[in-house]
Amino acid sequence: MLSYRHAFHAGNHADVLKHFTLWLVLDYFNRKDKPYWYIDTHSGAGLYDLGGREAQKVGEYRQGIEKLRTTDENLPPLLAEFIACLKNILPAENLYCGSPWLAQAVLRPADKLRFFELHPTDFSHLQHNMQEVRLGRRGILKQEDGYRGLIALLPPPPRRAVVLIDPPYEEKQDYARVIDTLKEAQKRFEQGCYMVWYPCLSREESRKLPEKLKKLAPENYLQAELYVHTPRADGFGMHGSGMWIINPPYLLAEQLKECLPALTRLLAQDDGARYVLDYKQ
């Protein structure tokens, strides 16, 4: 089933957490004068029009990136840098980036990008959007299953890589496939930096995913969760989201510790907003 379209949710609170964390990780990898690969298993369209029909139908960006763009509050320096980066890399104010657009703007000429997207409509949009920046030999786009595509690429030639696994979780199988894919990926490329985004839902699969992820690398992980409101009484909907990182940069925990309180305060929708930061390195 390929019904999920991220255009309806672009720029929401989950995107803010995901892209801010990704930006911090890529910035860390850029500090070392050695090339690396960025592999995105569920790339989406790459770029989204917040003024378009899909984004306007739900309007989730108003409770997400728009809060950061319009706040009068003095943001922590790293958050302020992130917002400035977005302003610099986006072609127009009404646009918001997906992870491919952010990554292609941040990576250096010697680094490589590998994008997978299975949905035909989103893949078509991804092709069009990536043509705008002329990836050339830096990037390869494939309309393939990203789980399988990732495994086929490992280990990458430079032995340095950031991997983002970001499925929609609209099917229960996604939870199991994330774990199975990571197990296989670690066998082939143990030192990779693996980033997993997941929704915080009332459903059992969502609640149990973190404990399963923890077993994959119990001595070297980072978990960051951002809850924006109290779970609904009917159990419906996403009240938060999380990022799980295996082999995280050593700076990341302190960076998030400085910024998550401000993010929680700015994106809170009721007094149930909170964050979780757990790590072991």
Does residue 113 contact residue 139 with C-beta atoms inside 8 Å? Answer: yes
Count CB neighbours of 154 within 10 A: 18
Catalytic positions: 166
Does residue 126 contact residue 140 with C-beta atoms inside 8 Å? Answer: no
The whole-angstrom separation of Cα 25 and Cα 30 is: 9
Half-sphere exposure of 156 (CA within 13 A, CB side): 20
Does residue 58 contact residue 114 with C-beta atoms inside 8 Å? Answer: no
Strand ranges in the chain using DSSP code E only, listed in sequence order? 37-40, 47-49, 95-97, 112-116, 139-142, 161-165, 193-200, 221-227, 240-246, 274-280
In the chain the first and final C-alpha atoms are separated, in Å, by 38
CA angle 193/201/207 to nearest 5° reads 65
